[in-house]
Amino acid sequence: MDVEPLLSKLVSIDSSFPNESRIGEFIEGYLKEEGMVVRRQYVSEGRFNIFAERKGSGRPILLYGHMDTVIPHGRWHTNPLKLERDGDRLIGLGACDMKGGLAAILSGLAASKGRSLKAVFCVDEENISVGGWKALSSNRKWFSGVSIALSGDSGHSEKYKGGADVITAGRRGRVVINIDVRGFAFHGAQPKKGINAIDEASKIVLGLGDLKLLKHKALGGETAFANLFEGRSTGLAIPESARIGVDLHLVPPDTGTKAKKRVEELVRRLKSSGTLDRRTVVDVSIAKRETPYIDPYETKLSDKSVRRVIRIVDERCGTHHINYGSSVADDNIISNILHVPVITIAPNGDNPHAENEWVSRKGLGEVASLYAELIERL
């Protein structure tokens, strides 16, 4: 199947999480037709990852993609589930993130025959990466021997939006920190006799500008923003509890645990300066969720397999650009768990998670052709 019709088919299948079963069945059939040994790994009822393997020459390389999309957001000019062409733009839900990358990987895989390779396609990346965590944490032996991982996910940054000459070699990580604030209640007619937890929590939010954030020469600076603020009084009393959520995007060598400690340090500074009432009780914790938060990573450009990728890209494109993704992806999990070099190459496009998402028709063909060559030559 040619790459554009393949993308059209992928876009036509609604795979907004948690509805990935139909696209999983399609990809499973496609891989079997290409002679790969395929098995499912169920994540929950009706939701499964796909593991595929082909024996051949050399150490296996790993191909990775996620099968899910977000639901359509905004005001689409076209049917999100029907790929439409507008000049060089192919418009459809997931075209950029990451069905264009999926189509390029699958097309490249079909065009190459001799190379030993493994491929994993996961559910839930657009949510909390349940599929990615299960695939990589419970199958370490299956991944042994892999020399490099190639991902087709979008690696958007402020500077780059994808393309065959854009090599993404790292991504920021993410953690969400909860800050629980406890004052003590008193009758609302005499509020100064209590400690209003909402007032105290507001001081912490305003103080987030003084939170110590790390900088990285390639990935840039960390960012933090309040993503939750809740609290209320019971009856005619000032509120005695409130909660703040702080969403942080991290850079190496930062981790969620280290970020939590810096939030605690900020609270101590606010108390010592008198901004916060010293009697206010503040508890800082990493927000609970089903899967762990994802640490940042940076792939070493000196790795032998990475140097080969760069050389092949230079031969095809005349140059290359090293990029670092602004946000997290399952690529982080591959690096964090397998400790193998991870390189992301995806077709250029834009509007991920937004209306009229698109991918370049020319770029799609170029990246598909590049994957075929990378698979054969790495």
312-351 pLDDT, tens digit per residue, is 999 999 999 999 999 999 999 999 999 999 999 999 999 9
Residues 263, 312 share a domain: no
The reported pLDDT for the residue numbered 234 is 84
Decide which of 58 and 24 is more confident: 24
Global pTM value:
0.92
- Checking if the pLDDT of 1 tops 70, the result is no
Instruction: Among 44-58, 187-201, 267-281, name the one with the lowest average pLDDT.
Output: 187-201
Rounded Cα distance, 47 and 143, in Å: 21
- Region 207-221 average pLDDT: 95
Instruction: Give the residue carrying structure tokens 């490099």.
Output: 148
The reported pLDDT for the residue numbered 191 is 79
What is the per-residue pLDDT across 149-200, written as a single tens digit (0 to 9) for each?
999 999 999 999 999 999 999 999 999 999 999 999 878 788 788 999 999 9
The reported pLDDT for the residue numbered 185 is 85
* Domain range enclosing 199: 173-286
130: left (phi over 0), alpha (psi -120 to 50) or beta: alpha
Q: Let me know how long the chain is.
A: 378
Residues 307, 238 share a domain: no
Tally the domains of the chain: 2
Residues 359, 240 share a domain: no
Residues 258, 191 share a domain: yes
Residue 291 lies in a domain: no
Average pLDDT along the chain: 95
Rounded Cα distance, 308 and 314, in Å: 10
- Region 202-228 average pLDDT: 95
Q: What backbone phi and psi angles, to 5 degrees, belong to 268? A: -65, -40
Instruction: Among 3-12, 15-24, 52-61, name the one with the lowest average pLDDT.
Output: 52-61
Which of residues 286, 321, 356 is at a domain's end?
286
Q: How far is CA 271 from CA 45, 200, 260, 279, 287, in A?
A: 49, 10, 17, 9, 23
Instruction: Calculate what percentage of the chain has a pLDDT beyond 70.
Output: 100
